[in-house]
């Protein structure tokens, strides 16, 4: 199958890093089409970034749709534009937070989330409620490591990340850790080797979930709220959305 | 004071209509700066429309900020980009759904929402939960009247809207009606004269709320999650967001 | 307009203090009719106080109704007798806690409540759930300063109050502070000058909310649960409630 | 033991009727002290009635306390003044709604409530949430039979009550019926003989719960929020509450 | 009446201990039939133990049913097999956790639970949500004292238990303590004499609740989900369940 | 990989049917070890059945563990004994309801559940709350088709099942259907060909989820509540559980 892995931020190196994780997770028969938007923020660390990135990533969804991809993954822990993408796409759209929460709750009684800036805590909290996982999460911890610093993580920053994972376990009762940023996916193996609980990365979880759904021949329900977007005229820089 | 009234869709006639409602509600000392985006959907009737419109309206927030407005109102019942706008703006930002729900719950035990397309029901449901009003709402009813048809409402469509309001009262127990679209604001007086319960329009509610908050000298809290957006590089069509 | 500001406790000096705050907040065209009950507790610090005060304040609501006031404000943070008052009155009735929560959630991601006796924590908790704000509140802190001590606040008590506000910010993540007692309204300006987050006083919030609703020509819905009280005979000291 | 059975309304015939039910339920060693207030509404059918009755019944709690009763029962389905009564009393205070919900959930998967005026639905809804029984209740149905009409129930009114019970079963899935008014307690036997599900009356449930708690030697916790009311001056008709 | 008190674990000495507590609580006219299963775990300290014990205790329910008991009590704080037992039995079935939570919330604003192994925290959490008491519980604390160590409690272990109760009060705001294991029932008197809040033991609460319900002549509703188990063939060691 | 597919009921023909579905869903490299218990009910249609079957299936989990399976699937829509199985097993354990809910919410805004006997509605309701999917489910409908009748479904029964799916769509707003019984898995293809929304079968969803988790090298977290069962003596027919 062909999976479109969308990095909603414009950092190509981050796209590469998450694509590497995706490839490692994927079956040999799965191709990963890693997409970086041409427009938008370099990283997503607050609501403004997310709002802008949401609009931009939808162009990538459209491109992937035209390419006939079998699934789209939105690889940002805020799962931005998820509903809009599901309206637009024919193939299923999976958010990495949603996939991570689901997987984590199969293997642990409670999971903790360890993420980047504390500015993103509302986004995580919002998703936990939206997906129904608020009772399954032992807590969300922020490391205040900037998203772009994850690519070449300083030893002290890594140590901080690891320490937050440990405190999530000892203080919050986390029995698995969900890494709260697509940019952390390259750290899974190392953290897993140093910590006694499952470390869940949304990028790889989403890849596997996409393969699973595709193998079942299931697609997004197009009757109702994820149906094709309503016919509409668009103007200005979004004129191309007219349908 | 100067209130920026943002119509997130590109229909200038709709901006005029909501501006009229806003002027009628406003104090004589309040100026309304009605803004229509240059980019985006003609109306917002699904998640895709809302995602695109969200990005576009933030340019208007920025423009209003530079003009030194005293408040911004996002006049779309989905309250799109509310958090991002609160990060960006200095002045308070008010969503018309939030204001309408708040006002309605002061004057009624339960309120019903009557809105446009059933495609927007998830948006309403989401906001009720987000703002904590799910127990105060007797139900959300869709008329399936397109947003742009509200401007020159056909008699049959008006009759349908009125009937949904009545059924909200008799079948759901609504004791006030919240009109679920900024485009319905011009219908308030007529509906109010024909129905025995308060008819709440978010545009006028938001105007009064904005005046109230301004008179108290209160502004958005800038420590924390509504603080200035994180420093970031943006590229492409959003390059102007670099800060 | 004419707003009846009801102090549910019998402390006339407290009525004066909240009336001063109300006047400061009100438009020049708004008259404040500050009412002190003839019967009841000197201050409201536990459930018994609130139950007795509730009955007494309804006489004031009736008096205000006969005077044709345009709004009633119940200026006690427990919003006592709110539903009964809404049944009885023609004009809207606003509780200061409800108004404060609403305003705070427009300007902050989460607000903390700082109040008087820890004995009142159940009342605050109850209102947060009743109004749907439990997810918006970072926590309720009690200073254990008696209500009547607020009028001439000792420096140490003020310092304690300020410290609780600061801890609400640093420990709980409050991004605005809601003052949990009408008697604290005279402290807003000083606290606001010393703290970096919005300090919300329910008395002034309720005054502005009352003006806003009045300007919109909206009144309490009288169909349903806030309709006129059911016809009833009353005996004894409450005989005057017979209708 | 000596149980004070408080009828919060001033209808002495209703007090007699509920006292009869209480006696039938009580152990031979239990005395029922049935109390009717000297002040207040003849029946409680809206929020105003309840607010006034709440203040009045606290005098009865005080009287019972001075008599050294072993328990107090508040026999009105709104469980009015429950927290205030628990502060005031030494002995446990039981509300008939609370006892009925508890008992019903032991014997049925879901219970339905059938009550008097639809004006009281908010009171029932409020209690279900307050006590945590909202998921256990299949629905609250109003018969719109006035409380005082229950004493000598017209055949048609009885038929209506019975029909609502039946519809609660067939339409809502109720597997037990909680009678939503102390005045219905005399109807239990007849309804029970004609309906196939447990019919729960809060008066008798509360009597048994009171006996149970008394036999265990357990009393209200006086550390914390049900502790003795805070020392306070009262004036006017409530001067006697000064402590 | 005849109450069957089921110890779901196979420790006969623990059955004796809880039977002693039950007898102390019961009326003179109540006989306690204490039952120990022939099959299953010696104590219940994790989900596996509970699943196995659940199946075994149903044989005891059946035996009690054949003996015509008037009530069954499941004396394990996880209330195992409660729904199955209610289907099977004619007489009411009461879980000790359910009874304890109910009683505690009548006498305290919030109750804390103090239990045995932290491995059982999910079970307690689950029951709090199932019964609707999550907002009434100030917290669940584990002492990590093995269930079987309760029978002859070492002084240090008792001191630990008492300390957790105290911390529940001082740190969590518990105003009553619910003992989270049937095996703690013999400690009630001692703890009660040393602590200032009600100490609630589910075994005695359930005995009193059983007597109360029996005296009212109320039984489990057999229409619906607690009706007789569906006709079914069983094979192997469970063949005897065929009906 | 080797997946143990556990049929908790003793109907071997039903095991065959679900094994067929599992094989159809599985990758060529996945072996399905379909297990039927030697003890227990022929089908699971009420709480008693589920309690007994829970104990029995744990023997199968143990057997699968000794065989070194890579995952266990509990193929009964009540997900019985899920926590106990997770304690016992080394490999992940997946319940078919949990997997189905997760998958359905990726492809639809709301899903409806259509199941067998209305007696099982509490089980479905319980799981929706336990997993956090109560807001994602448009409703649970029962066909009252006995589980064992699914194997050779009468045309009328099929028509009834199909009609409930349709009504779930038209009346409840379901945008996907989750089949509420493992025994329905053989009907997926037919229903899918006749209905316009995704039909989700928990057996195949669980198979794919198991493969996904296995490919990621993730296993159940053994620190905490899914850790190895506590050391315990067992007696009688369960003696073999002693560890």
Query: What does the pLDDT average to over F162-167?
Result: 98
Residues of chain C with pLDDT > 70: what percent?
100
Contact yes or no for E213 and D106 at CB 8 A: yes
Quote the CA–CA distance of B190 and B202 in Å, as a whole number.
Answer: 16
Query: What does the pLDDT average to over D79-92?
Result: 98
Whether the CA torsion C207, C208, C213, C214 is positive or negative: it is positive
> Is a pLDDT exceeding 90 seen at residue A151?
no
Chain segment C111-147, per-residue pLDDT in tens: 999 999 999 999 999 999 999 999 999 999 999 999 9
> Is a pLDDT exceeding 90 seen at residue E94?
yes
At residue B243 the predicted structure's pLDDT band, cuts being 50, 70 and 90, is confident
Quote the CA–CA distance of A221 and F172 in Å, as a whole number.
Answer: 15
> Is a pLDDT exceeding 90 seen at residue E243?
no
> Is a pLDDT exceeding 90 seen at residue C167?
yes
pLDDT of residue B211: 98
From residue D113, give the alpha-carbon distance in Å to each of B64, D116, D174, D177.
54, 10, 9, 6
* Partner residues linked to B114 by β-bridges: B141, B179
Q: Which two tokens stand for residue D50?
A: 């309840």
* Average pLDDT score over chain F: 96
| Cβ contacts of C205 on chain B, cutoff 8 Å | 212, 216
Rg (alpha carbons) of chain B, rounded to whole number? 17
> Is a pLDDT exceeding 90 seen at residue B50?
yes
**CB proximity under 8 Å: B 26-65 to C:** 27
Quote the CA–CA distance of D72 and D23 in Å, as a whole number.
Answer: 15
Choose the closest CB to D212 out of E134, E176, E212.
Answer: E212
pLDDT of residue B190: 95
B14-18: Cβ within 8 A, 24+ apart? B14/B43, B14/B147, B14/B148, B14/B150, B14/B151, B14/B182, B14/B183, B17/B151, B17/B183, B17/B185, B17/B186, B18/B75, B18/B182, B18/B183, B18/B185, B18/B186, B18/B203
Contact yes or no for E46 and F129 at CB 8 A: no
* Partner residues linked to C71 by β-bridges: C3
From residue D109, give the alpha-carbon distance in Å to each of B142, E88, F206.
34, 14, 30
* Partner residues linked to B31 by β-bridges: B2
Give the largest CA-CA distance in chain B: 54
* Average pLDDT score over chain D: 96
Residues 6+ apart with CB under 8 A from B22: B3, B5, B32, B34, B73, B203, B204, B207
Chain segment A163-209, per-residue pLDDT in tens: 999 999 999 999 999 999 999 999 999 999 999 999 999 999 999 99
- Which of these ranges, A11-15, C91-95, E120-124, has the smallest mean pLDDT? E120-124
* Partner residues linked to B40 by β-bridges: A235
Quote the CA–CA distance of D31 and C172 in Å, as a whole number.
Answer: 51
pLDDT of residue B169: 98
Chain segment F22-67, per-residue pLDDT in tens: 999 999 999 999 999 999 999 999 999 999 999 999 999 999 999 9
Residue of B9, B37, B43, B51 to mutate, interface with A, max A Cβ within 10 Å: B51
Tell how far CA D37 is from the center of its chain.
Answer: 15
- Which of these ranges, A219-228, B159-168, C6-15, D145-154, has the smallest mean pLDDT? D145-154
Contact yes or no for B235 and A38 at CB 8 A: yes
Q: Which two tokens stand for residue E56?
A: 């075994």
Chain segment B20-37, per-residue pLDDT in tens: 999 999 999 999 999 999
To the nearest whole Å, the CA of E202 is away from the closest chain D CA by 11
pLDDT of residue B136: 97
> Is a pLDDT exceeding 90 seen at residue C51?
yes
Quote the CA–CA distance of D175 and E9 in Å, as a whole number.
Answer: 31
| Cβ contacts of E88 on chain F, cutoff 8 Å | 48
**CB proximity under 8 Å: C 198-227 to B:** 198, 200, 204-205, 208-209, 211-213, 215-216, 218-221, 223-226
* Average pLDDT score over chain C: 96
Strands E71-74 and E111-115: unpaired
Tell how far CA C70 is from the center of its chain.
Answer: 17
Quote the CA–CA distance of A162 and A166 in Å, as a whole number.
Answer: 6
CA angle, residues F191, D170, F125, in degrees to nearest 5: 50
Quote the CA–CA distance of A140 and A124 in Å, as a whole number.
Answer: 7
Q: Which two tokens stand for residue E73?
A: 């009590």
pLDDT of residue F243: 85
Whether the CA torsion E178, E182, E186, E187 is positive or negative: it is negative
| Contact in structure between B232 and A45 (CB atoms under 8 Å) | yes
Quote the CA–CA distance of D211 and D106 in Å, as a whole number.
Answer: 18
Identify the structural domains of chain F with CATH numbers, from first to last. Answer: 2-95+205-242 (3.40.50.12500), 97-202 (3.40.50.12500)
Quote the CA–CA distance of A188 and E62 in Å, as a whole number.
Answer: 52
pLDDT of residue E151: 85
Contact yes or no for A205 and F216 at CB 8 A: yes
Length of chain E: 243
| Contact in structure between A74 and A81 (CB atoms under 8 Å) | yes
| Cβ contacts of A198 on chain F, cutoff 8 Å | 218-221
Nearest CA in chain F to E56: F52
pLDDT of residue E95: 98
Quote the CA–CA distance of A132 and E81 in Å, as a whole number.
Answer: 27
* Average pLDDT score over chain B: 96
The torsion angle over the Cα atoms of residues F82, F85, F90 and F91, rounded to 10 degrees, is -40
Neighbours of C12 (CB within 10 A): 12
pLDDT of residue B151: 85
pLDDT of residue B240: 94
Q: Which two tokens stand for residue D38?
A: 């000297």
Phi, psi of E204 (to 5 degrees): -70, -35
For chain A, say whether F12 makes contact (Cβ under 8 Å): no
User: In B34-51, which positions are buried (b, 16+ CB within 10 angstroms) versus exposed (e)?
Assistant: bbbbebbbbbbbbbbbbb
Query: What does the pLDDT average to over A153-157?
Result: 91
pTM over 0.90: yes
Do E and F touch, 3+ Cβ pairs within 8 Å? The answer is yes
> Which residue, F50, B8, F36, F19, is CA-closest to E58?
F50
Query: What does the pLDDT average to over A137-166?
Result: 94
pLDDT of residue D43: 95
| Cβ contacts of D35 on chain C, cutoff 8 Å | none
Length of chain A: 243
Chain segment F189-210, per-residue pLDDT in tens: 999 999 999 999 999 999 999 9
To the nearest whole Å, the CA of C56 is away from the closest chain B CA by 22
| Contact in structure between B4 and B33 (CB atoms under 8 Å) | yes
At residue E28 the predicted structure's pLDDT band, cuts being 50, 70 and 90, is very high
pLDDT of residue D243: 86
> Is a pLDDT exceeding 90 seen at residue F141?
yes
To the nearest whole Å, the CA of E175 is away from the closest chain F CA by 28
CA angle, residues B132, B134, B139, in degrees to nearest 5: 150
- Residue recorded with tokens 């559940």: F113
Query: What does the pLDDT average to over B61-70?
Result: 98
> Is a pLDDT exceeding 90 seen at residue D151?
no
pLDDT of residue F151: 85
pLDDT of residue A187: 93
Contact yes or no for D236 and C55 at CB 8 A: no
Length of chain F: 243
DSSP F162-198: HHHHHHIIIII--SSEEESSGGGGGGHHHHHHH-SS-
A146-149: Cβ within 8 A, 24+ apart? A146/A43, A146/A45, A146/A116, A146/A117, A147/A9, A147/A14, A147/A43, A147/A44, A147/A45, A147/A116, A147/A117, A147/A181, A147/A183, A148/A11, A148/A14, A148/A42, A148/A43, A148/A183
pLDDT of residue A241: 95
Q: Which two tokens stand for residue F120?
A: 């099982």
Quote the CA–CA distance of D223 and C7 in Å, as a whole number.
Answer: 29
Tell how far CA E27 is from the center of its chain.
Answer: 19
Residues 6+ apart with CB under 8 A from A125: A140
Chain segment C193-234, per-residue pLDDT in tens: 999 999 999 999 999 999 999 999 999 999 999 999 999 999
Contact yes or no for E218 and D200 at CB 8 A: yes
- Which of these ranges, D147-161, D197-211, F72-86, has the smallest mean pLDDT? D147-161
């Amino acid at each position: 199958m062909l999976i479109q892995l969308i990095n909603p931020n414009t950092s190509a190196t981050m796209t590469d890093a998450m694509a590497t994780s995706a490839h490692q997770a994927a079956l040999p028969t799965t191709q990963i089409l890693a997409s970086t938007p041409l427009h938008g923020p370099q990283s997503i660390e607050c609501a403004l970034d997310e709002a802008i990135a949401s609009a931009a990533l939808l162009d990538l969804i459209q491109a992937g749709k035209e390419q006939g991809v079998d699934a789209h993954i939105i690889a940002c822990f805020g799962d931005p534009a998820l509903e809009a993408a599901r309206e637009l796409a024919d193939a299923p759209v999976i958010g990495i937070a949603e996939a991570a929460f689901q997987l984590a709750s199969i293997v642990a009684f409670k999971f903790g989330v360890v993420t980047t800036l504390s500015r993103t805590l509302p986004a995580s909290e919002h998703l936990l409620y939206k997906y129904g996982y608020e009772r399954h999460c032992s807590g969300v911890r922020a490391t205040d490591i900037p998203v772009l610093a994850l690519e070449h993580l300083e030893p002290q920053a890594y140590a901080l990340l690891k320490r937050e994972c440990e405190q999530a376990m000892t203080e919050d009762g986390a029995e698995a850790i969900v890494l709260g940023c697509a940019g952390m996916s390259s750290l899974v193996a190392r953290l897993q080797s140093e910590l006694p609980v499952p470390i869940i990365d949304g990028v790889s979880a989403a890849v596997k979930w996409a393969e699973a759904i595709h193998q079942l021949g299931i697609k997004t329900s197009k009757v109702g709220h994820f149906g094709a977007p309503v016919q509409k005229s668009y103007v200005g820089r979004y004129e191309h959305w007219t349908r």
